[in-house]
């Protein structure tokens, strides 16, 4: 078999590679498709880049990627958080090479041009070494900026396209997932500045992302974990209480335990069922801020398990985002959600996060291995298609989205690839 031909410019009829419940193998291996993804998903839509808590002070900066475009997220001296393209306007050198720091300016290592942390060209070396023509264009030689930057709940998103839907329109129902984690903070804010755990996956970025809302794999991929914790955990949730999966639209999707938890009406089930008496200062602060009723509800329901298209995942008290590097290479970054002022809780959360998602984390190590094996299996060209259905099409559309009461259903994946197909086929200009 040969892969369907994929043009790198112009429009593209994606129905040759994505059907209702099937995805062609080349979706994960084709350099042309990867190119289209970078040009469409990552160059036209909203992409998560950073959290405000990471650049809280003037001068704070960090380096990230939007697709393959390197960027500096910079808190300028004027107080504005910008997403600057990490490229010198002289001969394109990558200006900032540190992962994060605090600086008033960035100096290019090649010929020494210096840019302010608001992106403007501040200084050039060699007094008298520039002619009149240079003076005329100098003002235009600042670092380029992502034309649209916006945030919700401290999560900063950027779009490299000057026009398009607003961030709120993009987030849609997924805003509720951000609200759920903020509801667990007495200040209404969270902190993601304690550092990110970085995992280099030998897998296509989509495999890494959509695995997070795959309710089917856990009992197999993570079997050893469940074997280890089963004696302590098995009685927590009655089997008859159903967890649902939901396609929230726009590529966002979730595994939703909230109904399950509400029926139990027990606080901290999502946090290993610790008694509230173990964290009295935290609960008191939450009640003082939100009142007893909202506090009880927040502690019963807990944070969400939601994928925010295309690259952000809220996994209870973890946040993960991914950067696609190549068809078979992805970096996933995970941080623990820290609640400002609640150090006792935070120490627990960070240890839990390291245990699951750290370098030897029991969940991410399993998922990394599976992703690598998926990618290795794709080297075989037959069968051509991957299946996103088991013939149990019991999805129901209601006011919350497309819901399946079987948490192992591939409803989130179908929503993910529906969005993927609607974006990747769009017109890509020739230049
Ligand atoms: Fe940056 Fe020349 S490439 S100063």
Dump pLDDT digits (tens) for 380-389.
999 999 999 8
Atom index in ligand 1 nearest the CA of residue 111 equals 4
Asked whether the predicted pLDDT for residue 231 surpasses 80, the reply is: no
User: Is 320 in a helix, a strand, or coil?
Assistant: strand
> Mean per-residue pLDDT for 2-11?
91
Q: What is the reported pLDDT for 273?
A: 84
Distance 93 CA to ligand 1 centre (A): 6
Q: How far apart are alpha carbons 152 and 138 in whole angstroms?
A: 35
**Ligand 1 and 88: CB distance under 6 A:** yes
Average pLDDT, the chain: 93
Q: Is the CB of 111 under 6 A from ligand 1?
A: yes
Mean pLDDT of 277-282: 90
User: What is the number of the ligand 1 atom nearest to the C-alpha of 91?
Assistant: 3
Q: Would you say the CB of residue 93 lies under 6 angstroms from ligand 1?
A: yes
- The residue written with tokens 């639209």 in the block is 249
Give φ, ψ of 297 to 5 degrees: -60, -45
Ligand 1 within 6 A of CB of 262: no
Q: Ligand 1 mean position to 129 CA, how many Å? A: 14
Is residue 392 pLDDT above 80, yes or no? no
Q: From CA 308, how far away is CA 426, in angstroms rounded?
A: 21
Selection from 158, 197, 194 nearest residue 56 by Cα: 194
Residues 6+ apart with CB under 8 A from 35: 8
Model confidence band, residue 246 (pLDDT cutoffs 50, 70, 90): very high
**Residue 145 alpha carbon to ligand 1 centre in Å:** 18
pLDDT bucket at 220, cuts 50 / 70 / 90: confident
Q: pLDDT higher for 229 or 46?
A: 46
| pLDDT score at 188 | 96
- Specify the pLDDT at position 116: 97
- Please report the pLDDT score of residue 275 as a whole number: 79
Question: Quick check: helix, strand or coil at residue 223?
Answer: helix
pLDDT in tens, 12-41: 999 999 998 999 999 999 999 999 999 999
Q: Tokens 């779009």 — which residue?
A: 159
- Give the Å distance between the CA of 45 and the centre of ligand 1: 30
Please state the pTM of the whole predicted model: 0.94
Task: Confirm or reject: Cβ of 236 under 6 Å from ligand 1.
Answer: no
pLDDT digits (tens, 9 = 90+) for 299-340: 999 999 999 999 999 999 999 999 999 999 999 999 999 999
What single-letter DSSP state applies at residue 339? Answer: P
Q: How far apart are CA 242 and CA 258, in angstroms?
A: 10
* Interatomic CA distance for residues 28 and 165, integer angstroms: 27
- Residue 414, both tokens: 């179908």
Q: Is 128 helix (H, G, I), strand (E, B) or coil?
A: coil
**Measured distance CA(204)–CA(331) in Å, rounded:** 10
The closest residue, in CA terms, to atom 2 on ligand 1 is 111
Dihedral sign (CA 282, 286, 287, 289): positive
Please give the Cα distance from 66 to 195 (Å, whole number): 19
In this predicted structure, which of 69-78, 124-133, 342-351, 418-427 has the lowest mean pLDDT?
124-133
Q: At what angle do helices 411-424 and 31-44 cross, to 10 degrees?
A: 90
- Please check the confidence at residue 236 and state whether its pLDDT lies above 60: no
Nearest CA to 319 among 155, 99, 173, 168? 155
Look up tokens 């591939």; give the residue.
410
**Beta carbons of 337 and 317 less than 8 angstroms apart:** yes
The tokens describing 115, both together, are: 């840019």
Domains of the chain (ranges; CATH) run: 49-151 (2.102.10.10), 173-424 (3.90.380.10)
Helices (H) and strands (E) in the chain, counts: 13, 21
pLDDT band at 241 (very low <50, low <70, confident <90, very high): low
Residue 265 has pLDDT above 50, yes or no: yes
- Helix axis angle for 343-357 and 280-290, nearest 10°, is 110
- Measured CA to CA, the distance from residue 143 to residue 130 in angstroms comes to 19
Give 360's pLDDT tier (boundaries 50, 70, 90). confident
Place 234 in a pLDDT band, splitting at 50, 70 and 90.
Answer: very low
Distance 114 CA to ligand 1 centre (A): 9
Joined together, the tokens standing for residue 177 give 């997932």
Residue 358 has pLDDT above 80, yes or no: yes
Whether the CB-CB separation of 76 and 95 falls below 8 Å is answered with no
Q: Is the pLDDT of residue 135 over 90?
A: no
Q: How far apart are CA 137 and CA 151, in angstroms?
A: 33
Residue 4 is classified by DSSP as P
pLDDT at 222: 84
Query: Considering only 45-49, 201-205, 362-366, 416-420, which range has the smallest mean pLDDT?
Result: 362-366
């Amino acid at each position: 078999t040969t892969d369907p031909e994929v043009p790198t410019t112009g429009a593209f009829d994606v129905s040759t590679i994505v059907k209702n419940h099937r995805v062609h193998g080349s979706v994960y291996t084709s350099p042309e498709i990867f190119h289209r993804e970078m040009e469409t998903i990552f160059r036209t839509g909203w992409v998560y880049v950073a959290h405000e808590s990471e650049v809280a002070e003037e001068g704070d900066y960090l380096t990230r990627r939007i697709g393959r475009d390197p960027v500096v997220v910079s808190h300028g001296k004027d107080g504005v958080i910008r997403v600057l393209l990490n490229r010198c306007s002289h001969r394109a050198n990558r200006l900032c090479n540190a992962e994060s720091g605090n600086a008033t300016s960035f100096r290019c290592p090649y010929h020494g041009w210096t840019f302010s942390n608001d992106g403007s060209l501040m200084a050039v070396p060699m007094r008298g070494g520039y002619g009149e023509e240079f003076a005329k264009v100098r003002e235009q030689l600042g670092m380029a900026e992502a034309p649209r930057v916006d945030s919700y709940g401290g999560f900063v998103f950027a779009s490299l396209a000057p026009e398009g839907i607003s961030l709120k329109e993009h987030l849609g129902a997924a805003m509720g997932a951000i609200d759920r984690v903020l509801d667990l903070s007495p200040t209404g804010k969270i902190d993601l500045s304690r550092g990110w755990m970085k995992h280099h996956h030998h897998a296509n970025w989509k495999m890494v992302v959509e695995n997070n809302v795959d309710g089917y794999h856990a009992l197999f991929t993570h079997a050893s974990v469940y074997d280890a914790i089963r004696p302590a955990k098995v009685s927590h949730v009655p089997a008859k209480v159903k967890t649902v999966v939901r396609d929230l639209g726009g590529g966002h999707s979730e595994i939703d335990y909230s109904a399950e938890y509400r029926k139990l009406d027990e606080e901290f089930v999502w946090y290993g069922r610790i008694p509230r008496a173990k964290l009295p200062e935290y609960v008191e602060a939450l009640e003082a801020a939100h009142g007893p009723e909202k506090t009880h509800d927040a502690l019963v329901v807990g944070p969400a398990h939601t994928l925010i298209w295309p690259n952000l995942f809220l996994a209870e008290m973890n946040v993960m985002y991914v950067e696609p590097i190549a068809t078979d290479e992805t970096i996933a970054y995970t941080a623990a959600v820290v609640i400002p002022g609640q150090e006792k809780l935070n120490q627990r959360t960070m240890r839990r996060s390291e245990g699951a998602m750290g370098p030897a984390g029991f969940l991410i190590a399993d998922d990394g291995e599976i992703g690598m094996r998926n990618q290795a299996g794709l080297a075989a060209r037959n069968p051509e298609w991957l299946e996103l259905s088991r013939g149990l099409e019991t999805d129901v559309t209601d006011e919350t989205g497309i819901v399946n009461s079987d948490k192992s259903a591939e409803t989130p994946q179908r929503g993910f690839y529906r969005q993927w197909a609607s974006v990747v086929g769009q017109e890509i200009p020739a230049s």
